[in-house]
A = this chain, B = another copy of it.
Protein backbone atom coordinates (compact mmCIF):
# COMPACT_ATOMS: atom_id res chain seq x y z
CA UNK A 1 0.00 0.00 0.00
CA UNK A 2 1.43 3.42 -0.95
CA UNK A 3 0.23 6.87 0.08
CA UNK A 4 0.64 9.06 -2.99
CA UNK A 5 0.77 12.83 -3.33
CA UNK A 6 -1.83 14.53 -5.54
CA UNK A 7 -2.86 18.04 -6.55
CA UNK A 8 -5.68 18.57 -4.06
CA UNK A 9 -4.89 22.05 -2.77
CA UNK A 10 -6.64 21.38 0.52
CA UNK A 11 -4.28 18.63 1.42
CA UNK A 12 -1.49 17.26 -0.69
CA UNK A 13 -1.86 13.64 0.40
CA UNK A 14 -4.99 11.58 -0.10
CA UNK A 15 -6.02 9.88 3.10
CA UNK A 16 -6.03 6.13 3.03
CA UNK A 17 -8.68 5.50 5.67
CA UNK A 18 -7.86 1.81 5.73
CA UNK A 19 -4.21 2.44 6.64
CA UNK A 20 -4.98 4.94 9.41
CA UNK A 21 -7.81 2.85 10.85
CA UNK A 22 -5.84 -0.39 10.71
CA UNK A 23 -2.75 1.16 12.27
CA UNK A 24 -4.84 2.77 15.03
CA UNK A 25 -6.64 -0.52 15.73
CA UNK A 26 -3.42 -2.54 15.85
CA UNK A 27 -1.61 -0.08 18.14
CA UNK A 28 -4.68 0.03 20.33
CA UNK A 29 -4.66 -3.76 20.82
CA UNK A 30 -0.96 -3.70 21.72
CA UNK A 31 -1.51 -0.77 24.09
CA UNK A 32 -4.43 -2.43 25.85
CA UNK A 33 -2.39 -5.59 26.39
CA UNK A 34 0.39 -3.47 27.93
CA UNK A 35 -2.09 -1.55 30.12
CA UNK A 36 -3.33 -4.89 31.43
CA UNK A 37 0.26 -5.66 32.40
CA UNK A 38 0.61 -2.34 34.21
CA UNK A 39 -2.65 -2.48 36.18
CA UNK A 40 -2.57 -5.01 39.04
CA UNK A 41 -5.04 -7.77 38.18
CA UNK A 42 -5.46 -9.71 41.37
CA UNK A 43 -6.28 -9.38 44.99
CA UNK A 44 -8.66 -7.40 47.12
CA UNK A 45 -8.61 -4.13 45.15
CA UNK A 46 -9.26 -5.52 41.69
CA UNK A 47 -13.03 -5.16 41.55
CA UNK A 48 -13.24 -1.93 43.54
CA UNK A 49 -10.36 -0.05 41.89
CA UNK A 50 -8.29 -1.68 39.17
CA UNK A 51 -11.15 -2.99 37.00
CA UNK A 52 -12.59 0.53 36.94
CA UNK A 53 -9.32 1.84 35.46
CA UNK A 54 -9.92 -0.35 32.40
CA UNK A 55 -13.47 0.92 31.79
CA UNK A 56 -12.65 3.88 29.55
CA UNK A 57 -9.65 2.40 27.69
CA UNK A 58 -11.75 -0.65 26.73
CA UNK A 59 -14.50 1.49 25.21
CA UNK A 60 -14.50 2.55 21.57
CA UNK A 61 -11.50 4.92 21.60
CA UNK A 62 -9.16 5.91 18.78
CA UNK A 63 -6.08 5.57 21.02
CA UNK A 64 -4.35 8.18 18.86
CA UNK A 65 -1.60 9.02 21.35
CA UNK A 66 -0.07 5.55 21.68
CA UNK A 67 -0.31 5.06 17.90
CA UNK A 68 1.64 8.30 17.30
CA UNK A 69 4.24 7.28 19.87
CA UNK A 70 4.70 3.79 18.43
CA UNK A 71 4.76 4.98 14.79
CA UNK A 72 7.39 7.65 15.49
CA UNK A 73 9.64 5.24 17.36
CA UNK A 74 9.39 2.58 14.69
CA UNK A 75 9.73 5.02 11.77
CA UNK A 76 13.05 5.98 13.38
CA UNK A 77 14.08 2.34 13.60
CA UNK A 78 13.31 1.84 17.30
CA UNK A 79 11.93 -1.52 18.49
CA UNK A 80 8.29 -2.03 19.48
CA UNK A 81 9.13 -3.67 22.84
CA UNK A 82 11.06 -0.59 23.95
CA UNK A 83 8.27 1.90 23.27
CA UNK A 84 5.14 0.01 24.30
CA UNK A 85 5.39 0.86 27.99
CA UNK A 86 5.68 4.60 27.31
CA UNK A 87 2.82 4.44 24.80
CA UNK A 88 0.59 2.65 27.32
CA UNK A 89 1.44 5.22 29.98
CA UNK A 90 0.25 8.04 27.70
CA UNK A 91 -3.07 6.24 27.25
CA UNK A 92 -3.39 5.78 31.03
CA UNK A 93 -2.79 9.51 31.63
CA UNK A 94 -5.28 10.43 28.94
CA UNK A 95 -8.06 8.23 30.30
CA UNK A 96 -7.45 9.51 33.84
CA UNK A 97 -7.93 13.08 32.60
CA UNK A 98 -11.09 12.02 30.72
CA UNK A 99 -12.60 10.74 33.98
CA UNK A 100 -11.83 14.09 35.68
CA UNK A 101 -13.14 16.05 32.66
CA UNK A 102 -16.42 14.15 32.82
CA UNK A 103 -16.78 14.99 36.52
CA UNK A 104 -16.00 18.68 35.86
CA UNK A 105 -18.52 18.91 33.02
CA UNK A 106 -21.16 16.73 34.71
CA UNK A 107 -21.21 14.67 31.50
CA UNK A 108 -23.61 11.74 31.37
CA UNK A 109 -21.98 9.66 28.66
CA UNK A 110 -18.50 8.96 27.32
CA UNK A 111 -17.87 6.86 24.22
CA UNK A 112 -21.56 5.90 24.02
CA UNK A 113 -21.80 4.59 27.57
CA UNK A 114 -22.52 6.19 30.96
CA UNK A 115 -19.62 8.10 32.51
CA UNK A 116 -17.80 6.55 35.46
CA UNK A 117 -19.14 9.08 37.96
CA UNK A 118 -22.64 8.40 36.64
CA UNK A 119 -22.44 4.68 37.40
CA UNK A 120 -20.23 4.76 40.53
CA UNK A 121 -20.70 8.25 41.98
CA UNK A 122 -18.34 11.21 41.93
CA UNK A 123 -16.01 10.28 44.84
CA UNK A 124 -15.16 6.85 43.38
CA UNK A 125 -14.64 8.38 39.90
CA UNK A 126 -12.28 11.10 41.16
CA UNK A 127 -10.33 8.48 43.15
CA UNK A 128 -10.00 6.14 40.13
CA UNK A 129 -8.67 9.08 38.06
CA UNK A 130 -6.17 10.06 40.77
CA UNK A 131 -5.11 6.41 41.14
CA UNK A 132 -4.51 6.13 37.36
CA UNK A 133 -2.33 9.27 37.40
CA UNK A 134 -0.39 7.76 40.29
CA UNK A 135 -0.09 4.33 38.70
CA UNK A 136 1.29 5.89 35.51
CA UNK A 137 4.43 6.95 37.41
CA UNK A 138 5.51 3.36 38.09
CA UNK A 139 6.00 2.18 34.46
CA UNK A 140 7.95 5.38 33.76
CA UNK A 141 10.32 4.43 36.60
CA UNK A 142 10.44 0.80 35.44
CA UNK A 143 11.45 2.19 32.03
CA UNK A 144 14.98 2.59 33.48
CA UNK A 145 15.53 -1.15 33.23
CA UNK A 146 13.91 -1.32 29.77
CA UNK A 147 15.54 1.57 27.91
CA UNK A 148 18.25 2.80 30.28
CA UNK A 149 18.51 5.60 32.78
CA UNK A 150 19.17 8.48 30.37
CA UNK A 151 16.19 7.90 28.10
CA UNK A 152 13.86 7.07 31.00
CA UNK A 153 14.74 10.37 32.72
CA UNK A 154 14.20 12.38 29.52
CA UNK A 155 10.78 10.75 29.20
CA UNK A 156 9.90 11.71 32.80
CA UNK A 157 10.99 15.29 32.03
CA UNK A 158 8.82 15.29 28.89
CA UNK A 159 5.81 14.09 30.88
CA UNK A 160 6.36 16.79 33.53
CA UNK A 161 6.58 19.40 30.76
CA UNK A 162 3.43 18.06 29.07
CA UNK A 163 1.48 18.23 32.32
CA UNK A 164 2.59 21.81 32.91
CA UNK A 165 1.92 23.02 29.36
CA UNK A 166 -1.55 21.51 29.23
CA UNK A 167 -2.46 22.84 32.68
CA UNK A 168 -1.45 26.32 31.51
CA UNK A 169 -3.45 25.96 28.28
CA UNK A 170 -6.44 24.72 30.25
CA UNK A 171 -6.06 27.60 32.75
CA UNK A 172 -6.09 30.10 29.87
CA UNK A 173 -9.25 28.61 28.36
CA UNK A 174 -11.07 28.40 31.70
CA UNK A 175 -10.05 31.98 32.54
CA UNK A 176 -11.51 33.24 29.26
CA UNK A 177 -14.76 31.39 29.96
CA UNK A 178 -14.87 32.54 33.59
CA UNK A 179 -14.38 36.23 32.69
CA UNK A 180 -16.28 36.07 29.35
CA UNK A 181 -13.19 37.44 27.59
CA UNK A 182 -13.73 37.62 23.79
CA UNK A 183 -11.43 40.49 22.87
CA UNK A 184 -8.94 37.95 21.55
CA UNK A 185 -6.97 37.37 18.37
CA UNK A 186 -6.25 34.17 16.47
CA UNK A 187 -2.76 34.31 18.01
CA UNK A 188 -4.32 34.00 21.48
CA UNK A 189 -6.33 30.98 20.31
CA UNK A 190 -3.27 29.37 18.72
CA UNK A 191 -1.20 29.80 21.89
CA UNK A 192 -3.93 28.21 24.00
CA UNK A 193 -4.38 25.27 21.61
CA UNK A 194 -0.62 24.78 21.21
CA UNK A 195 -0.44 24.26 24.97
CA UNK A 196 -3.71 22.44 25.55
CA UNK A 197 -3.81 20.14 22.51
CA UNK A 198 -0.48 20.10 20.69
CA UNK A 199 1.68 19.34 23.73
CA UNK A 200 -0.72 16.81 25.15
CA UNK A 201 -1.99 14.91 22.12
CA UNK A 202 0.80 15.24 19.54
CA UNK A 203 4.12 16.65 20.73
CA UNK A 204 4.60 14.45 23.81
CA UNK A 205 3.69 11.15 22.06
CA UNK A 206 6.01 11.98 19.16
CA UNK A 207 8.83 13.13 21.49
CA UNK A 208 8.53 9.97 23.59
CA UNK A 209 8.72 7.80 20.46
CA UNK A 210 11.74 9.79 19.28
CA UNK A 211 13.55 9.58 22.62
CA UNK A 212 13.05 5.80 22.84
CA UNK A 213 14.39 5.41 19.28
CA UNK A 214 17.42 7.56 20.14
CA UNK A 215 16.64 10.35 17.66
CA UNK A 216 19.14 13.22 17.31
CA UNK A 217 18.31 16.67 18.70
CA UNK A 218 17.80 17.92 15.14
CA UNK A 219 15.34 15.16 14.26
CA UNK A 220 13.49 15.60 17.57
CA UNK A 221 13.19 19.31 16.78
CA UNK A 222 11.61 18.59 13.40
CA UNK A 223 9.23 15.99 14.90
CA UNK A 224 8.26 18.41 17.61
CA UNK A 225 7.43 21.12 15.07
CA UNK A 226 5.46 18.66 12.95
CA UNK A 227 3.43 17.63 15.99
CA UNK A 228 2.83 21.23 17.12
CA UNK A 229 1.34 22.16 13.74
CA UNK A 230 -0.70 18.99 13.39
CA UNK A 231 -2.09 19.41 16.91
CA UNK A 232 -3.45 22.82 16.01
CA UNK A 233 -5.05 21.46 12.82
CA UNK A 234 -6.53 18.62 14.90
CA UNK A 235 -8.09 20.92 17.50
CA UNK A 236 -9.66 23.20 14.89
CA UNK A 237 -11.14 20.14 13.14
CA UNK A 238 -12.46 19.02 16.54
CA UNK A 239 -14.18 22.37 16.94
CA UNK A 240 -15.65 22.01 13.43
CA UNK A 241 -16.92 18.48 14.10
CA UNK A 242 -18.76 19.75 17.16
CA UNK A 243 -21.01 21.73 14.79
CA UNK A 244 -21.07 19.47 11.72
CA UNK A 245 -20.71 15.80 12.70
CA UNK A 246 -23.57 13.55 11.61
CA UNK A 247 -24.89 10.51 13.44
CA UNK A 248 -23.24 8.66 16.27
CA UNK A 249 -19.65 8.42 14.96
CA UNK A 250 -18.40 11.64 16.57
CA UNK A 251 -19.75 10.66 19.97
CA UNK A 252 -19.88 14.13 21.56
CA UNK A 253 -22.84 16.42 22.18
CA UNK A 254 -23.84 18.54 19.13
CA UNK A 255 -22.99 22.23 19.70
CA UNK A 256 -21.73 21.36 23.19
CA UNK A 257 -18.93 23.93 22.68
CA UNK A 258 -21.54 26.69 22.21
CA UNK A 259 -23.46 25.64 25.32
CA UNK A 260 -20.17 25.66 27.27
CA UNK A 261 -19.17 29.04 25.77
CA UNK A 262 -15.85 27.57 24.58
CA UNK A 263 -13.40 29.75 22.67
CA UNK A 264 -13.26 27.99 19.31
CA UNK A 265 -11.62 29.62 16.29
CA UNK A 266 -15.09 29.45 14.70
CA UNK A 267 -16.97 31.37 17.37
CA UNK A 268 -14.10 33.83 17.85
CA UNK A 269 -14.25 34.61 14.10
CA UNK A 270 -18.04 35.03 14.15
CA UNK A 271 -17.94 37.33 17.20
CA UNK A 272 -15.14 39.39 15.64
CA UNK A 273 -17.02 39.71 12.33
CA UNK A 274 -20.40 40.55 13.91
CA UNK A 275 -22.05 43.98 13.83
CA UNK A 276 -22.18 46.02 17.05
CA UNK A 277 -25.72 44.89 17.90
CA UNK A 278 -25.02 41.24 17.07
CA UNK A 279 -21.86 41.30 19.13
CA UNK A 280 -23.68 42.78 22.09
CA UNK A 281 -26.32 40.04 21.97
CA UNK A 282 -23.66 37.35 21.56
CA UNK A 283 -21.80 38.71 24.61
CA UNK A 284 -25.01 38.67 26.68
CA UNK A 285 -25.63 35.04 25.67
CA UNK A 286 -22.07 33.92 26.34
CA UNK A 287 -22.15 35.53 29.77
CA UNK A 288 -24.93 33.13 30.81
CA UNK A 289 -24.02 29.64 32.11
CA UNK A 290 -25.56 26.58 30.50
CA UNK A 291 -28.58 25.17 32.34
CA UNK A 292 -27.35 22.75 35.00
CA UNK A 293 -27.71 19.09 34.17
CA UNK A 294 -29.00 16.57 36.66
CA UNK A 295 -26.38 14.62 38.57
CA UNK A 296 -26.59 11.11 39.92
CA UNK A 297 -28.18 11.18 43.34
CA UNK A 298 -29.44 14.72 42.84
CA UNK A 299 -32.04 14.22 40.14
CA UNK A 300 -34.22 17.29 40.39
CA UNK A 301 -35.82 18.21 37.10
CA UNK A 302 -37.44 21.60 37.64
CA UNK A 303 -39.64 21.67 34.54
CA UNK A 304 -41.61 18.42 35.15
CA UNK A 305 -41.89 19.33 38.83
CA UNK A 306 -43.54 22.60 37.91
CA UNK A 307 -46.03 21.07 35.47
CA UNK A 308 -46.91 18.38 38.00
CA UNK A 309 -47.60 21.08 40.59
CA UNK A 310 -49.73 23.09 38.19
CA UNK A 311 -51.75 20.00 37.20
CA UNK A 312 -52.30 18.98 40.84
CA UNK A 313 -53.52 22.44 41.78
CA UNK A 314 -55.82 22.56 38.77
CA UNK A 315 -57.30 19.22 39.82
CA UNK A 316 -57.84 20.65 43.32
CA UNK A 317 -59.70 23.58 41.70
CA UNK A 318 -57.19 25.73 43.48
CA UNK A 319 -55.59 27.72 40.75
CA UNK A 320 -56.23 31.40 40.08
CA UNK A 321 -54.14 33.39 37.58
CA UNK A 322 -52.35 35.00 40.52
CA UNK A 323 -51.64 31.59 42.05
CA UNK A 324 -50.21 30.32 38.77
CA UNK A 325 -47.99 33.40 38.54
CA UNK A 326 -46.78 32.90 42.10
CA UNK A 327 -45.75 29.34 41.30
CA UNK A 328 -44.02 30.37 38.07
CA UNK A 329 -42.07 33.09 39.87
CA UNK A 330 -41.10 30.85 42.76
CA UNK A 331 -39.87 28.12 40.43
CA UNK A 332 -37.99 30.44 38.07
CA UNK A 333 -34.54 30.04 39.72
CA UNK A 334 -34.77 26.24 39.70
CA UNK A 335 -35.97 26.33 36.09
CA UNK A 336 -32.76 27.97 34.99
CA UNK A 337 -33.77 31.53 34.22
CA UNK A 338 -30.59 33.40 33.36
CA UNK A 339 -29.04 30.35 31.68
CA UNK A 340 -28.48 29.85 27.96
CA UNK A 341 -31.58 28.77 25.99
CA UNK A 342 -31.97 26.84 22.72
CA UNK A 343 -32.89 30.17 21.09
CA UNK A 344 -29.57 31.58 22.28
CA UNK A 345 -27.66 28.67 20.73
CA UNK A 346 -29.59 29.04 17.45
CA UNK A 347 -28.60 32.73 17.39
CA UNK A 348 -24.91 31.83 17.73
CA UNK A 349 -25.22 29.20 14.99
CA UNK A 350 -26.87 31.75 12.67
CA UNK A 351 -24.01 34.17 13.37
CA UNK A 352 -21.46 31.49 12.49
CA UNK A 353 -23.35 30.76 9.25
CA UNK A 354 -23.70 34.44 8.32
CA UNK A 355 -19.97 35.12 8.54
CA UNK A 356 -18.80 31.80 7.03
CA UNK A 357 -16.82 31.11 10.18
CA UNK A 358 -16.76 27.34 9.57
CA UNK A 359 -15.10 27.88 6.19
CA UNK A 360 -12.63 30.25 7.80
CA UNK A 361 -11.72 27.65 10.44
CA UNK A 362 -11.44 24.91 7.78
CA UNK A 363 -8.98 27.04 5.82
CA UNK A 364 -6.81 27.69 8.88
CA UNK A 365 -6.88 24.02 9.90
CA UNK A 366 -5.76 22.91 6.44
CA UNK A 367 -3.04 25.54 6.32
CA UNK A 368 -1.55 24.09 9.50
CA UNK A 369 -1.95 20.54 8.20
CA UNK A 370 -0.09 21.50 4.99
CA UNK A 371 2.76 23.00 7.03
CA UNK A 372 2.95 19.80 9.11
CA UNK A 373 3.04 17.79 5.92
CA UNK A 374 5.83 19.94 4.53
CA UNK A 375 8.01 19.11 7.52
CA UNK A 376 7.28 15.41 7.15
CA UNK A 377 8.17 15.50 3.43
CA UNK A 378 11.53 17.03 4.21
CA UNK A 379 12.18 14.40 6.91
CA UNK A 380 13.83 11.99 4.51
CA UNK A 381 15.55 10.34 7.48
CA UNK A 382 12.25 8.66 8.45
CA UNK A 383 12.33 5.03 7.31
CA UNK A 384 10.08 4.25 4.38
CA UNK A 385 7.80 1.81 6.16
CA UNK A 386 4.20 1.38 7.20
CA UNK A 387 5.03 3.51 10.28
CA UNK A 388 6.19 6.49 8.24
CA UNK A 389 3.21 6.01 5.93
CA UNK A 390 0.89 6.14 8.91
CA UNK A 391 2.35 9.51 9.95
CA UNK A 392 1.85 10.86 6.39
CA UNK A 393 -1.71 9.51 6.17
CA UNK A 394 -2.51 10.89 9.60
CA UNK A 395 -2.08 14.46 8.33
CA UNK A 396 -4.96 14.06 5.91
CA UNK A 397 -6.96 12.04 8.45
CA UNK A 398 -6.71 14.84 11.00
CA UNK A 399 -8.45 17.41 8.80
CA UNK A 400 -10.84 15.01 7.03
CA UNK A 401 -11.92 12.79 9.91
CA UNK A 402 -15.49 12.57 11.13
CA UNK A 403 -14.72 11.14 14.57
A9 to chain B, nearest CB (A): 36
Q: 25 A-B contacts, Cβ less than 8 Å apart?
A: A45-B168, A45-B172, A48-B171, A49-B171, A105-B123, A121-B178, A124-B171, A124-B174, A127-B167, A127-B171, A131-B164, A133-B133, A134-B164, A137-B159, A138-B160, A141-B156, A144-B153, A289-B297, A300-B334, A305-B331, A312-B327, A312-B330, A313-B327, A316-B322, A318-B322
Q: Is residue A380 within 8 Å, beta carbon to beta carbon, of the partner chain?
A: no
Please state if B297 and A178 are interface contacts (CB–CB under 8 Å).
no
- Residue in B126, B127, B170, B318 whose beta carbon sits within 8 Å of that of A320 in the complex: B318
**Across the A-B interface, the 5 shortest Cβ-Cβ residue pairs:** A134-B163, A131-B167, A312-B326, A318-B323, A49-B171
Instruction: Find chain B residues with CB under 8 A from A135 CB.
Output: 163-164, 167
Q: Is residue A60 within 8 Å, beta carbon to beta carbon, of the partner chain?
A: no
Interface residue ranges of A143-193 to B (CB < 8 Å): 144, 149, 153, 156-157, 159-160, 163-164, 167-168, 170-172, 174-175, 177-178
- Residue in B104, B137, B153, B163 whose beta carbon sits within 8 Å of that of A126 in the complex: B104
Please state if A167 and B327 are interface contacts (CB–CB under 8 Å).
no
Q: Is residue A258 within 8 Å, beta carbon to beta carbon, of the partner chain?
A: no
Instruction: Find chain B residues with CB under 8 A from A122 CB.
Output: 104
A290 to chain B, nearest CB (A): 10
A319 CA / B320 CA spacing, docked (Å): 10
Interface majority SS on A: helix, strand, loop or mixed? Answer: helix
Please state if B160 and A134 are interface contacts (CB–CB under 8 Å).
yes
Instruction: Find chain B residues with CB under 8 A from A300 CB.
Output: 300, 302, 333-334
Instruction: Report the nearest B residue to A133, measured CB to CB.
Output: B133
Q: Is residue A103 within 8 Å, beta carbon to beta carbon, of the partner chain?
A: yes
A116 CA / B168 CA spacing, docked (Å): 17
A171 CA / B163 CA spacing, docked (Å): 25
Instruction: Find chain B residues with CB under 8 A from A298 CB.
Output: 292
A178 to chain B, nearest CB (A): 6
Q: Is residue A120 within 8 Å, beta carbon to beta carbon, of the partner chain?
A: yes
A361 to chain B, nearest CB (A): 24
A124 CA / B168 CA spacing, docked (Å): 11
Please state if A171 and B131 are interface contacts (CB–CB under 8 Å).
yes
Convert A302-315 into 0s and 1s, putting 1 for each residue whose CB lies closer than 8 angstroms to a CB of B. Answer: 10010011001101
Instruction: Report the nearest B residue to A299, measured CB to CB.
Output: B333
Instruction: Report the nearest B residue to A175, measured CB to CB.
Output: B48
Q: Is residue A97 within 8 Å, beta carbon to beta carbon, of the partner chain?
A: yes
Instruction: Find chain B residues with CB under 8 A from A330 CB.
Output: 305, 308-309, 312
Q: Is residue A329 within 8 Å, beta carbon to beta carbon, of the partner chain?
A: yes
Instruction: Find chain B residues with CB under 8 A from A163 CB.
Output: 130-131, 133-135, 137
Q: Is residue A100 within 8 Å, beta carbon to beta carbon, of the partner chain?
A: yes
A221 to chain B, nearest CB (A): 22
Instruction: Report the nearest B residue to A159, measured CB to CB.
Output: B137
A10 to chain B, nearest CB (A): 34
Knowing A126-B103, A305-B330, say if A157 contacts B131 (CB, 8 Å): no
Instruction: Find chain B residues with CB under 8 A from A153 CB.
Output: 141, 144
Instruction: Find chain B residues with CB under 8 A from A156 CB.
Output: 137, 141
